[in-house]
């Protein structure tokens, strides 16, 4: 039997339970980059939707905004490592995204 603490609760696990727990932990950890990329895609979609009004036919979007919107679309292609994902998702003490890619044009 092995003692394990999860969320402050300690319990005993037999070898079968421990093996299953270890497998789940390994699976979770191996998909870290996928989860981060999903967060980035959701943030990107939100930013694009918030600025879609600028692309209406009766408005002229500035080149700076065109470039900014394109940079959001290019995030997955231009940033492909987990370390880059961490930098893109970095937040300050107030929870505000700090990477320059998220700043307004």
- How many whole angstroms separate alpha carbon 20 and alpha carbon 74? 38
Q: Which pLDDT tens digit goes with each residue over 11-70?
A: 899 989 989 999 999 999 899 999 999 999 999 999 999 999 988 878 888 999 999 999
Q: Are residues 60 and 83 in the same domain?
A: yes
| Whether 101 contacts 72, CB under 8 Å | yes
- How many whole angstroms separate alpha carbon 4 and alpha carbon 12? 6
Q: Per the structure, how many domains does the chain have?
A: 2
Q: Are residues 14 and 60 in the same domain?
A: no
In sequence order, what DSSP letters do the residues of 10-71 get, joined into one string?
A: EEEE-HHHHHHHHHHHHHHHHTHHHHHHHHHHHHHHHHHHHHGGGGSTTS---HHHHHHHHH
Residue 95: per-residue pLDDT:
95
Domain that holds residue 19: 1-30
Q: Are residues 38 and 26 in the same domain?
A: no
């Amino acid at each position: 039997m092995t003692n394990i603490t999860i969320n402050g609760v300690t319990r005993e696990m037999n070898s079968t339970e421990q093996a299953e727990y270890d497998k789940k932990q390994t699976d979770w950890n191996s998909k870290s980059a996928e989860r981060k990329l999903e967060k980035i895609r959701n943030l990107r979609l939100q930013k694009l939707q918030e600025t879609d009004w600028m692309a209406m036919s009766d408005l002229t979007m500035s080149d700076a905004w065109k470039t900014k919107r394109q940079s959001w679309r290019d995030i997955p292609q231009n940033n492909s490592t987990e370390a880059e994902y961490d930098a893109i998702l970095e937040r300050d003490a107030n929870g505000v995204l700090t990477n320059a890619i998220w700043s307004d044009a």
